[in-house]
A and B are shown apart, each in its own frame.
Chain A
Amino acid sequence: GDSVTQMEGPVTLSEEAFLTINCTYTATGYPSLFWYVQYPGEGLQLLLKATKADDKGSNKGFEATYRKETTSFHLEKGSVQVSDSAVYFCALTHTGTASKLTFGTGTRLQVTL
């Protein structure tokens, strides 16, 4: 079955540092890939997505590129802010499966001044 593996957290960075959160997946075919973010006490919200190989999703300074050859979708941001402190989830879905999402375990990011 499908699976998503994320790097263990927590990740602690100083403000303006470069962020990478690794995500790799195991799936048949060509899934769509997502990054969701969960701020403290809230539900998940979509951060970015990519639906085919070599697509780059981007939003709020975050980027991730769908790499079919390495089955990866790593999240990056050039300069993090304290307000980026949250839990980040990598996820995938297949077309025609009622859009069911398979999630990674989440990576907590803590940004300090």
Chain B
Amino acid sequence: NAGVTQTPKFQVLKTGQSMTLQCAQDMNHNSMYWYRQDPGMGLRLIYYSASEGTTDKGEVPNGYNVSRLNKREFSLRLESAAPSQTSVYFCASTREADTQYFGPGTRLTVL
């Protein structure tokens, strides 16, 4: 089992560019999540998908969109990147009411 995988590992964008962060899990988990991690702020939930076909906003959704492509894959899209979106992004997944498993993260810099 690979667990939760994320691509890319690193990315540098210019302000206004768009990109999609990819996440996949092979644990047959129903729920998937996108977080961002900023210094001194812990992890904050951007969007989540409780089950295939559903998505909901988290604490900091502005500037992001998501797609739950199928049960395995959950992508995060930045339509017009801003410097405030410089962060480390983590994807996670879980069976219902259980431990979340995290991917290795994507370090994004927006210039």
Q: Is the CB of A43 within 8 A of B103?
A: yes
Q: Is the CB of A42 within 8 A of B31?
A: no
Q: Is the CB of A98 within 8 A of B48?
A: yes
Q: Is the CB of B102 within 8 A of A44?
A: yes
Q: How far is the CA of A72 from the CA of B90 in the complex (A)?
A: 26
Query: Smallest Cβ distance from B18 to chain A, in angstroms?
Result: 24
Task: Count residues of A near B (Cβ-Cβ below 8 Å).
Answer: 21
Residues B17-44 near A (CB distance < 8 A): 31, 33, 40-44
Chain B residues with CB below 8 A from A106, complex form: 42
A-binding segment of B61-69, B70-78, B79-87, B91-99: B91-99
Chain B residues with CB below 8 A from A89, complex form: 42-43
Q: Is the CB of B45 within 8 A of A100?
A: yes
Cβ proximity bits A90-102 to B, threshold 8 Å, 1 near / 0 not:
0001011011110
Q: Is the CB of B90 within 8 A of A98?
A: no
Q: Which of A32, A42, A43, A44 has the most CB atoms of chain B within a 10 A radius of its CB?
A: A43
Measured CB to CB, the nearest residue on chain B to A103 is B42
Measured CB to CB, the nearest residue on chain A to B105 is A43
Q: Which residues of A contact B (CB under 8 A)?
A: 32, 34, 36, 42-46, 49, 89, 93, 95-96, 98-101, 103-106
